[in-house]
Amino acid sequence: MSSLLNKAFLNAKKENRPALLTYTVAGDNTKKKSLEILKSISNYADICELGFPHNTPIADGGQIQTSAYRAIKNGIKINDVFSIAKNFKKSKKNTPIILMGYYNMIFQYNENKFLDKCKKSKVDGLIVVDLPYPENKSFASRCKKNGVNFIQLVSPTTSQIRLKKIIRDSHDMVYYISMLSTTGGKLKVSPKKILERYNKIKNQNKSKNVVIGFGITEKTIKSLKKADGLVVGSAICKEISKSIDRRQNTVTNVTNIVKRLRNKIQ
């Protein structure tokens, strides 16, 4: 599937840099603000990830949890997340948007209804944190039929045999979790080591776009710029929290961070 996601990676490659992926929680700190932040940062980000606020996160660190709790407190529901994505796409139709959440939420909402909503809201991809391979095979193929990329996750502990199968069955993007930690943890592994492991994944199939997430900040992003894409989430959520505490403009402050991140990988 030649998707918008693929195009975003191709454009970044033409500019000789990794694609920049941002992650924000839908509805943080309000539905309106969340959409404004998304629209503003997409001027510097290549791909935007939008998280479903969840009250029992598995992989999310403190910064993202704080964002999710704020959104839940503000009454953000699944349908609100879709309406943020849909509104975003009205003015940013060429920027890919990936929704990120947990399977139990999709299951309770109803798989068919959920995929239908994705299609109608022009969602480009899905990351389902707690639906691993091979359990995700049938859902992933249904995503593909609906024109939605299902994004497989791999980690430092993924065995070679398993890696081969995951890459073979993956769509247009594979997400490499750089270290065994929750998001926003300090980079416990040297960038050199991360890139060595990354290259092993990349060498399985050069045509697949592999991004690195977890532990990426303004300090570490430059050292990982050989990757196809880099995901920054916790640093952005932290900035939203700081701006709210200081009663500053969240949209301006978050956009400035994303702008600086983009400059570091040019």
Catalytic annotation, residues: 49, 60
Whether 126 and 149 have beta carbons less than 8 Å apart is answered as yes
Continuous segment of H or E residues that includes residue 151: none
Burial of residue 154 (number of CB atoms within 10 Å: 0-12, 13-18, 19+)? buried
Using alpha carbons, select from 99, 162, 105 the residue that is nearest to residue 133: 162
CA distance 89 to 40: 13
Query: What residues contact 113, with CB distance under 8 A and at least 6 apart?
Result: none
Closest CA to 1 of 209, 227, 226: 209
The residue among 19, 74, 16 whose CA lies nearest residue 42 is 19
User: Closest by alpha carbon to 207, among 4, 15, 10, 12?
Assistant: 10
